[in-house]
Amino acid sequence: MPNIFFILGGLFFSGGSLYLLRQNYRYAWKGIKTTGTIVELVQSSSKGEYGATFSPRVKFRDQLNREHVILSELGLSGKHFSAGNKITIYFNPEKPEQISIVSAYFNFIAGFFFCLGLGIILIGIFVD
């Protein structure tokens, strides 16, 4: 009989990583791709054991050439963003304040946890 705890744990990791990827890319499917500039980093969590997380404030121009400065919901450790860096973003053309930041680091972490979840599920199915 499969170990239900392994299967549930694997579903938690895999499902959670897919949810986070979906949240990060929710404007990418129907959005407009552009390049933004990080204006500043705003601390989005208190400094803990692994350091604080920061959300970038991004400046970009929409399809009508209007400038927008938006604080992203995506928060990562400060070493992955720096003020002045150019980054790829997607924005909702109807509501330009809704943006998604494309981050290779974020994609790597989400992919790692997705694969970890699948591995745990397989252990639960095949190991007695």
Say whether pTM exceeds 0.85.
Answer: no
* Residue spans of alpha helices (H) in the chain: 4-24, 104-126
* Residue, of 26 and 34, whose pLDDT is higher: 34
Closest C-alpha to 110, from 14, 28, 17: 17
- Do 59 and 24 lie in one domain? The reply is no
Q: pLDDT by residue (tens digit) across 65-121?
A: 999 999 987 777 656 678 898 988 889 888 888 888 877 777 788 889 999 999 999
User: How many percent of the chain have pLDDT more than 90?
Assistant: 30
The CATH number assigned to the domain holding 38 equals: 2.40.50
- Do 95 and 112 lie in one domain? The reply is no
Candidate from 13-17, 24-28, 77-81 with smallest mean pLDDT: 77-81
Residues spanned by the domain of 55: 31-101
